[in-house]
Structure 1
Amino acid sequence: MLDHIGQIPANAAQRFANREALIAGGRRFTFAELNGLIEAVAGGLSRLGLGQGDIVTLYAANSWEWIVSYFAVARLGAVINPVNTMLTPAEVEYVVKDCGAKAIIASPDKIAGILGVTEVSSVQSIIAIGDAPVAGAISFDGLIAARHPAPPPPDVAADSLGSIAYTSGTTGQPKGAMQSHRAVILNGAMTSQMHMRGADDIVVSALPCPHVYANVLMTGMMMCGTKLVLHERFDSAAVLADIERHSATIFDGVPAMYMYILNNPDLKQSDLSSLRRCYVGGQTMPVTVMEAVEAAFGAPLIELWGMTEIAGLGATHPLLGRNKHGSIGCAMPYCELRIADAENAGRTMPRGEVGELMVRGPIVMMGYFGDPEKTRETLEPDGWMHTGDLGTMDVDNCVNIVDRKKDMILTGGYNVYPAEIERALAAHPAVALSAVGKLPDAVKGEIAKAYVVLKEGAACTEDEIIAFCRETLAAYKCPRTVQFVKDVPKTSTGKIMRRELYKLDQG
């Protein structure tokens, strides 16, 4: 096992040399070529005064430059701060001021909004991806062209800070989850181990690079020789075309991506015969939809679970193990999962009973940057970490996620889980996608509201949707109202943002 992230590219170049590693932005790269670019960018960043321990923010869309930047920062022994491209300039300013970043590498379209950050923070350099001159920024391609030699590889401890990844901040200001080099490397390696991803695999992905799910695919590519076909953004037609064009063996996505693909008329004409397995994470996925994906793709669909605070995956199904639809699987190697009483973390719930999912092991974050109070709330003294997910554990130690603890609806004294309603809605033949939120109610406290995207050409009424739910759900669980919408609010990964659903009420 390598000690730190910065060692990964040179090791990959030595092991896989001229094998093709990455296809992105219309270009192809071997492992040796990627390492050469990483060394050049590391040399350029060093010439700008960046070095071991400095924090560098990555604020850019999916691209080969993003991947090169990520490893170039690590090559210097500096700390990587990947941020979501959906963040506004004001939110990016908060992040760089909070963590004390010294430089930002950004897409050209992001530069104008963040130029002023150098006047109010410790940021000294802003680097614009591409070769077009951008006023006030340094050219990324210019760093490569200069070919400044990178300094000697630094001595970096495995348990030292490798990256700071900020959470979405849906309940307040974003929090910076600090990950050690060991956590990032171990998660990438164990994900590949559990899924048996290797040099014979070709992965198509549109997952955003700053997200930890995409990160384990990227590190897996470099550590295990897997070829990655990276899309700048998700487009169902483009994904189908690239699976066929590159004879992809794996597709990774979130539930919404699969739902859009299933609703794409191109699916029936697409040749997906090269796929050996597909993976889904980010949110729970209805079993009926998983079965529809397997039938359409002709490959098993395997669920996984992870979060920012654990550098990637915390649970999945081993490829040669039993694939339990509706379950996120078992704990990653070297880690533990348990279901705790939601009101008393020290008490473990009996098998099959709902509680909060907790995780412990070397992938767990070091804490939240500069926020000891939030760290204490999330990390127990014995190492167990609160995830905020509610679930159950079966006799095989496999976990079923019920829902997010904060998304639960309390209606007339009963606990109602949006994910359970969404699973019921997914079985309706006219429903392409659904999301369930909550509304205040004078009598019951809260009631469930369903936001439904219909399949192309389909028609349905509110009464029909509610009646359909009553066929499989107890009366108190059924949505009290339904709104048909063109789409629902999603994160950059395609994860449905239930707390933003209320904005559709005025639509």
Structure 2
Amino acid sequence: MLNGPAQVLPYAASRFADKTALVTDDRTMTFAELDAASSRVAGALHSRGVEPGQTVSVYSQNRWEWLVAYHGALKAGAVVNPINVMLTTDEVEYVLRDAHSAAVFVGADQAGKLVEATARIPQQCDVIVFGSTEVPGTVAFRTLLDTPADSVQHQPRLDDTCTIGYTSGTTGHPKGAVQSNRAVIQNFGLTATMHGRTGADIVVTALPAPHVYGNVAINSTWLAGGTVVLMERFDPAAALAWIGEHRATMFEGVPAMYAAMLSHTALDNADLSSLTRSTVGGQTMPEATIERWEERSDAPLIELWGMTELAGLGTTHPLHAQGPRGSIGIPLPGMEVRLADLQDPTRDAADGAAGELLIRGPVVMKSYFGNEAATREVLDKSGWLRTGDVARRDENGFLFIVDRLKDMIITGGYNIYPAEIERVLSAHPDIVMVAVGAVPDETKGELACAYVVRADGSTLTEQEIIDFSAQHLAAYKRPRMVRFVGDLPKTSSGKIMRRKLSHTIATLVQ
């Protein structure tokens, strides 16, 4: 049994040493090469005074160096803090200060700003730069690779802190979810098991490595001896091309990625015949989009659900026992879920009714770092984590996400879930992507507004969309207005940010 993610590469290298583990735009590496490079980074961190238990941050786009730094820091016994690449310098400064980071790995394009930021925080924090560019006040990552491998390998313990993953911070400052070695390695292993990963798998992904979904997609594949083909950023045409070029057996992404690939002209000539399954998470996936991808790829699309506070997945479908489309599946083995009444969370929701999804088990975070008050708000003494997601359960035990509790729209006293409207509108053949948000109304409090990306050449009108929704939705659930946009605001992982719809509309209107 592995005691933490620090042992993933040594374990894989002992079994698959010369097998290709990672393919990027500029480098291909075997398991033995990744293991050796990360051990040298561990030795370099120790030589620079980083002690076991100290925090080391990683802040950049997807690249081979990111993964070597991540595993090197783990091997050194450090607590790894993966930082969302979309955070501003001020936000990164807050995270480095809050997490007490002793070092931060960063791309050359952000290095200068981070040198200034680290000068303002109380602790010493080395800035280590990926790439070949020389930046004053930093350490070049390539020099770490010239350091001898760490002679004293840190021995992780299951209950030791492994990572601090900061939430997106949509309100106030982000919070750092503290995860144990047990939580992270168990998520890797259970994900690999549920999705049937093997050494024969070749996984194409553009999910950001700092995001728990992206991290689990990579490391669960390596745990099984599979190959990861990592895109620096998602591009629909490139993703389709890489699936065919590398004979990928899996693609992993969020709903917006699938929508973009399905609407791209490159789909016509794309070779998806090697795919045996794909995965999707991050947000609810319209069934119409699932059907289109499964029909085009001739392979199942496995839905999943997770969050930063779970070190990755919390529920999914077993590869060979999938439930109904639109479901996020069942809890990972060893995990428990309950649906709490929306008015009284101490009671269970009535059978068949929607309730807040609560989850308990070994992959739940320890706490929010240094924030007892925020921890108590979501994690009770019995270990139940309040997720903020509204869900329902069918008679066979499969779970369905209704929506985020905080995204609910209240119009004239009725509760409207944007995801329900989005699922309906996504079935329209002229709609590429859609997101629904609230706009204030003096009479009804809030109204639902649909932000729609039309297919190329479409002349679809606002009234046609409202009429289409009337065929499938009760009157109070229909969008009351439509705005046509060229794109939708997204996170680094490709999730649509509903709360930014009204703020970004001026720059997105077609």
Please give the TM-score of this superposition, normalised by the length of structure 1: 0.98
Distance in 2 separating the partners of 1:397 and 1:341: 17
Q: Which residue of 1 aligns with 2:136?
A: 135
Aligned partner of residue 348 in structure 1, secondary structure: coil
Is the 2:433–2:453 contact (alpha carbons within 8 Å) kept by the matching residues of 1? yes
Give the aligned residue type for 2:335: C
What residue in structure 1 maps to residue 27 of structure 2? 27
Determine the structure 2 residue equivalent to 1:473: 473
Q: Report how far residue 218 of structure 1 moved.
A: 1.9
Q: Distance in 1 between matches of 2:20 and 2:497?
A: 37
Q: Deviations over 1:339-374 (max 9, x none)?
A: 111232221113310110011000000010010000
The answer to whether residue 427 in structure 2 is matched with residue 427 in structure 1 is yes
SS in 1 for 2:345: strand
Q: In the alignment, what sits opposite 1:463?
A: 463
Give 2:429's aligned amino acid: P
Cα distance in structure 2, aligned partners of 1:339 and 1:171: 25
Further displaced range: 227-236 or 389-398: 389-398
- Return the offset for 1:414: 0.6
Aligned to 2:55: 55
In 2, are the aligned partners of 1:252 and 1:278 still within 8 Å (CA)?
yes
Matched AA of 2:127? I
Kindly state the Cα deviation for residue 119 of structure 1 after the two structures are TM-superposed: 2.2
Q: What code does the residue aligned with 2:133 have?
A: A
Are 1:25 and 1:64, in contact at CA under 8 Å, matched by a contact in 2? no
- Indicate how the Cα distance of structure 1 residues 242 and 338 shifts in structure 2: closer, same or farther if over 3 A, else same: same
1:70-114 Cα distance to aligned partner (Å, 9 max, x none) = 000000111000001101110000001011101110010110111
Structure 1 window deviating more from structure 2 (45-54 vs 86-95): it is: 45-54
Could you give the per-residue CA deviations for residues 214-248 of structure 1, whole angstroms, max 9, x where no partner exists?
11122213311011000000001111111001100
Tell me the equivalent position of 1:194: 194
Distance 1:306 1:369 in 2: 20
Residue matched to 1:399: 399
Residue 386 of structure 1 corresponds to 386
Q: Which residue of 2 aligns with 1:483?
A: 483
For residue 493 of structure 1, what is the aligned residue in structure 2?
A: 493
Which amino acid is the alignment partner of residue 46 of structure 1? H
Alpha-carbon separation, structure 1, partners of 2:68 and 2:343: 44
User: How much is the aligned-residue C-alpha RMSD, in angstroms?
Assistant: 1.0
Residue aligning to 2:285: 285
Instruction: Measure the CA separation in 1 of the matches of 2:88 and 2:171.
Output: 17
Matches within 5 A, 1:251-400: 251-400=251-400
Contact 1:96–1:123 (Cα < 8 Å) also in 2: no
SS in 2 for 1:110: helix
Contact 1:117 1:123 in 2 (8 A): no
How far apart in 1 are the matches of 2:25 and 2:267?
A: 24
Deviation at 1:506, TM superposition (A): 3.4
Could you tell me how far apart the structure 2 residues matched to 1:116 and 1:358 are? 41
Contact 2:342 2:349 in 1 (8 A): no
Q: Unpaired segments of 5 or more residues in structure 1? A: none
> Distance in 1 between the 2:184 and 2:235 partners?
28
Query: Where in structure 2 are the equivalents of 1:43-82 lying within 5 Å?
Result: 43-82=43-82
Is the contact between residue 432 and residue 453 of structure 1 (CA under 8 Å) also seen in structure 2?
yes
**What is the Cα deviation at residue 156 of structure 1?**
2.7
Between the aligned partners of 2:149 and 2:79, the Cα distance in structure 1 is 20
Tell me if structure 1 keeps the 8 A contact 2:201–2:221: no
Letter in 2 for 1:253: G
Structure 1 residues 173 and 470 mapped into 2: Cα distance closer, same or farther (>3 Å)?
same
Q: Does 1:38 align with 2:38?
A: yes
**TM-score, normalised on structure 2?**
0.98
Aligned AA (1:477): K
Alignment of 1:199-238 (within 5 A): 199-238=199-238
Q: Distance in 1 between matches of 2:333 and 2:503?
A: 41
Q: More displaced, 428-437 or 115-124?
A: 115-124
Identical pairs, percent: 49
Where 1:164 maps in the other structure, the secondary structure is strand
Partner AA of 1:380 in structure 2: D
Q: Tell me which residue corresponds to 1:447.
A: 447
Amino acid at match of 2:455: K
Aligned-partner Cα distance in 2 for 1:335–1:149: 38
Equivalent residues of 2:485, 2:505 under 8 A apart: no
Give the match for residue 107 of structure 1: 107
Q: Is the 8 A contact 1:358 1:387 kept in 2?
A: yes
What SS class does the counterpart of residue 362 from structure 1 fall into?
coil
Deviation at 1:271, TM superposition (A): 1.0
The alpha-carbon deviation at position 505 of structure 1 amounts to 4.1
Letter of the aligned partner of 1:260 in structure 2? A
Report the residue type matching 2:137 in the other structure.
G
Q: Is the 8 A contact 1:59 1:107 kept in 2?
A: yes
- Deviation readout 1:382-418 (Å, 9 max, x if unpaired): 1110000001011222110000000000011111000
Contact 1:435 1:496 in 2 (8 A): yes
Which residue pairs with 1:150 in the alignment? Answer: 150
Measured in 2, the distance between the counterparts of 1:270 and 1:155 equals: 46
Q: Which amino acid is 1:130 matched to?
A: G
Q: Which moved more, 1:127-136 or 1:167-176?
A: 127-136
Q: Helix, strand or coil: the match of 2:101?
A: coil
Letter in 1 for 2:409: I
Q: Secondary structure at the match of 2:51?
A: coil
Deviations, residues 320-346 of structure 1 (Å, cap 9, x unaligned): 103311100000011011111123222
Residues 411 and 445 of structure 2 are in contact (CA less than 8 Å); yes or no, is this contact kept in structure 1? yes
- Cα distance in 2 between the residues matched to 1:277 and 1:222: 17
